[in-house]
Amino acid sequence: MNRSAYYVGDQTFVVKETDPVPPGPGQVRIEVAYTGICGTDLHIAHGAMDQRVQRPAVIGHEMSGRIAELGAGVEGHRVGDPVTVMPLDWCGDCPACRAGHTHICHRLNFLGIDSPGAMQQSWTVPARILVPLPEGLSLAHAALVEPTAVAVHDVRRSRLAAGEHAVVIGAGPVGLLIGTVARTTGAQVTVLELDPRRRQLAADLGLSAVDPATVDVAGYVREVTGGAGAEVVYEVSGSAAGVRTATDLLAVRGRLVVVAIHPAPREVDLHRIFWRELEVIGVRVYEHADYVEAVRLVHGGQVPVDRLISRIVPLTEVAQAFEALATGGDVKVLIDCGGDA
């Protein structure tokens, strides 16, 4: 049987057993080892995406596991192989797909949001979205490949280079991952974070961590950059204050990377953008190359994902895991789905 956690609405999850879905042609069935809970999952659980998510819904898309069964026509994979999934299923026909941007397909099916996700023991997905994992990589650590790929995509889109200075506004899981990935480029990285626990974690990861409530952030950035300002600012807080701060910190021709999902329109200092010839760069999800690089960074230890895992809980305690994350005390909680053979 396949044990699954179903979101049924109103912050409520029901765990029940169903028959595993056999893989059809071009599909594989995965025994899921671990599934991480991300900010999008929290939004779903709090009802913010009820118009999009068809309930009851198995959510979750940060995962790792092993192939349990191959559908007809699947080549290049074997039963038992460790894998993760890039949870994007694209149409191939829309203007974005035809232009080569399948990750932002006009009709994108985001697995774990628009269709069943990974908070279950057995997950059947298209083989084309599998990403192989190296043997020896902890499957718990591999569950953080997906958010690491987000960070890789964001840093790559920003064109951050060695010797440049980057500021990350917000030290949640994605902000911390952006900071650590940015550091691998040889850039100097400053993280702005109000929460003292997350600020301390950023410092423990070797990042320069600043409390924007007690420090003149613009003055600090001018000082550490010799008066120039930061070449790149990543806005990860999702707050109006974060957007206002971002444009103040950028150097001439600096790049503002909008990472967070802002639920409402924000005021932006367009005069500053005009005066300094700033760029505003949108980033959304990732591409296959970002996943491959994320696997390399996690496996090689350049991104210490183990420091971000606060706890691992069994699938039967999924409701408690969401409650713990909502309090803000944990950084990353993994659901043990039982496939860590």
Beta bridge partners of 6: 14
Three-class DSSP category at 265: coil
| DSSP letter, residue 298 | H
CB-count exposure of residue 204 (10 Å: 0-12, 13-18, 19+):
exposed
106 in catalytic set: no
Q: Of 12, 18, 43, 103, which is the active-site residue?
A: 43
Asked if residue 257 lies in contact with residue 283, where contact means CB atoms within 8 angstroms, the answer is yes
Distance CA 268, CA 273 (A): 9
The number of angstroms, rounded, from the C-alpha of 49 to the middle of its chain's C-alpha atoms is 17
Residues 6+ apart with CB under 8 A from 53: 7, 44, 59, 113, 114
Q: Of 40, 84, 148, 245, which is the active-site residue?
A: 40
CA angle 141, 146, 147 (to 5 degrees): 90
- Return the CA Rg of the chain: 20
Query: Which region holds residue 10: left if phi is over 0, alpha if psi is between -120 and 50, else beta?
Result: left
Beta bridge partners of 279: 255
40 in catalytic set: yes
* Maximum C-alpha span of the chain: 62
> Could you give phi then psi for residue 300, rounded to 5 degrees?
-85, -5
| DSSP letter, residue 264 | S
Q: Annotated catalytic sites, by residue?
A: 40, 43
